[in-house]
């Protein structure tokens, strides 16, 4: 993934305010992937597929999965 940049003082999935980094990538299978890594260790991943479907995963810094969903294109 290519680094898209950093962010400052954003509320992480665990509720902490922290800095972090965001990465973005395009490939043959997934139209767009975005990964956000928060300073506390929380992560969010979003994949947008060519058919319009979107998957999201949010993982708290302790490993607990808060969101794991696939939304089909309508």
Check if the beta carbon of residue 61 is closer than 8 Å to that of residue 67. no
Q: Say what the pLDDT of residue 2 is.
A: 63
47-56 burial code (b ≥16 CB/10 A, e <16): bbbeeeeebe
Of 37, 44, 69, the closest CA to residue 54 belongs to 69
Strand-pair category, 17-25 with 2-11 = antiparallel
C-alpha 68/C-alpha 74 separation (Å) is: 19
Q: Say what the pLDDT of residue 1 is.
A: 54
- The residue ranges of every structural domain in the chain are 2-71
Q: What is the pLDDT of residues 41-56, one digit of tens each?
A: 999 999 988 888 999 9
């Amino acid at each position: 993934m290519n680094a898209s940049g950093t962010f400052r003082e954003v509320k992480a999935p665990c509720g902490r305010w922290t800095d972090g980094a965001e990465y973005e990538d395009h490939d043959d299978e997934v139209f767009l992937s975005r990964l956000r890594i928060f300073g506390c260790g929380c992560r969010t991943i979003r994949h947008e597929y060519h058919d319009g479907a979107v998957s999201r995963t949010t993982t708290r810094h302790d490993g607990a999965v808060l969101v794991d969903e696939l939304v089909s294109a309508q």
